[in-house]
Amino acid sequence: MERTDIKSLNIEELESYIENLGDKKFRAKQIFDWFHVKLVSHIDDMTNLSKNLRQQLKDDCQVTSLKILRKQENKAKDTIKYLFELHDKRVIESVFMRYKHGNSVCISSQVGCRMGCKFCASAIGGLERNLIPSEMLDQIYQIQKDLGERVSNVVVMGTGEPLDNYDNLIRFIELITSDKGQNMSGRNITVSTCGLVDKIYKLADEKLQITLAISLHASNDELRKQTMPIANRYSISEILEACKYYFNTTGRRITFEYSLISGVNDQEEYAHELAGKIKSLNSHVNLIPINPIKERDFKHSTSSQVSKFKNILEKYGINVTIRREMGSDIDAACGQLRKSYVDETTRQG
Ligand code: SAH
């Protein structure tokens, strides 16, 4: 029989679960508090529960707890990359980033990814499995415990396509924003997608206050198809329609991500083309100089090319930021640490 993934239950589910075990409903709030406020990983540490209930929980539940395999800090000491081991020995990575406005963690949503973007290290081995909500939460919980610091922002931009793991993502957001748990504001959560259009509509209808980031990386479909296989399924105009719906339904401004690859998508004509398509949308563009991965021959754009691209977009009245490259000295870009770890351990047999 499959064990109950107790850390992924919301309060209502936990209440009926506890009642089914023959105990009092109010125990659910205590257990929720242990997991999601006190960040405890062992049932035995829940000292206000009876010995009997603790034993029942240990017999019936699976308690997710990620093990820190490796930790790497960059020279500037504002970025720490974590490699975690899951209960089935698979590995995932998360990145802690210290900003003036608070601490942020970039979490993974899947082990591997099946979207196949050519510039992305996470795509190389394909999808291994989805992460369950407790495994997404625990990336944040373990980092908070390890550093003794509070995390105020979460970006779902690590390995995986979050909208390809939709139900688990939604539960994760419900739990991290719960006022009986971490009580994180939805506004402090960003979900990044390569643009699964049907799921963008569905997400809009959840009416969450999260920020949606779209990985566009191209100004027309032909160009997009060169690096992103998903472009064969959904066109840019379909994505932009969905973005309009998202904004109209939630009132939240969309972020477009554009990773600049030298000579591929960073030419000035593309900046004009992009601007023409998004200028009427209430959006923000994040330019990211591509982080070269050793498996591909992509080079990042020069800083003068990045500035040119930015200036053109700004002339159209578009809000643009250039993403600071934090932690590129520690393989911090999208799946690179995990990839180098997996390569290394396979070499060692
Ligand atoms: N699957 C989601 C989220 C994961 S990737 C998505 O596609 O949005 C987070 C962002 O980093 C995406 O915009 C992705 O396209 C980008 N990215 C991936 N590999 C990169 C690399 N090597 N250099 C720069 N950006 C990269």
pLDDT tens track for 301-347: 999 999 999 999 999 999 999 986 655 565 555 566 676 767 766 66
Model confidence band, residue 2 (pLDDT cutoffs 50, 70, 90):
confident
Evaluate: CB of 127 within 6 angstroms of ligand 1. Answer: no
Catalytic residues: 93, 334
The mean pLDDT of the chain is 93
CB-based contacts of 96: which residues, under 8 Å, 6+ apart? 79, 80, 81, 82, 103, 104, 105, 143, 147, 151
Which CATH architecture is the domain 67-347 placed in? Answer: Alpha-Beta Barrel (3.20)
In the predicted structure, residue 20 carries a pLDDT above the cut 70: yes
Containing H/E element for 84? strand 79-85
* Segment 34-46, tens digit of pLDDT: 999 999 999 999 9
Contacts of 113-117 with C-beta under 8 Å, sequence gap 24+, read: 113/159, 113/160, 113/161, 113/164, 113/335, 114/161, 114/164, 115/161, 115/164, 115/194, 115/228, 115/229, 115/230, 116/228, 116/229, 116/230, 117/194, 117/215, 117/217, 117/227, 117/228, 117/229, 117/230
Return the residue whose CA atom lies nearest to atom 14 of ligand 1.
215
Q: Which residues contact 55 (CB under 8 A, 6 or more apart)?
A: none
pLDDT reading at 64 higher than 80: yes
- Per-residue pLDDT, 349: 46
Taking only the tens place, the pLDDT of each residue in 184-228 is 999 999 999 999 999 999 999 999 999 999 999 999 999 999 999
For residue range 252-266, list pLDDT tens digits in order: 999 999 999 999 999
User: For residue 217, which atom of ligand 1 is closest to its CA?
Assistant: 15
**Residue 334 in contact with ligand 1 by CB distance below 6 A:** yes
- Evaluate whether the domain defined by 4-62 bears CATH number 3.30.2420.10: no
Q: Count the neighbouring beta carbons within 10 Å of the beta carbon of residue 94.
A: 25
Which pLDDT does position 190 carry in this prediction? 98
Whole-number Å distance, alpha carbon 57 to ligand 1 midpoint, is 39
Q: Is the pLDDT of residue 71 over 80?
A: yes
Residue 331 C-alpha to ligand 1 middle, in angstroms?
Answer: 14
State the closest ligand 1 atom to the C-alpha of 289, by its place in the atom list counted from 1: 24
| Residue owning tokens 């508090």 | 33
Q: Are 154 and 105 in contact (CB under 8 A)?
A: yes
The answer to whether 320 and 314 are in contact (CB under 8 A) is yes
Residue 81 has pLDDT above 90, yes or no: yes
Nearest CA to ligand 1 atom 19: 120
Check pocket membership of 293 for ligand 1, CB cut-off 6 A: yes
Q: What's the gap between Cα 142 and its chain centre?
A: 16
**Domain extent listing, the chain:** 4-62, 67-347
The rounded radius of gyration (Å) of the Cα atoms in the chain is 21
Q: Are 298 and 292 in contact (CB under 8 A)?
A: yes
- Region 158-166: mean pLDDT is 97
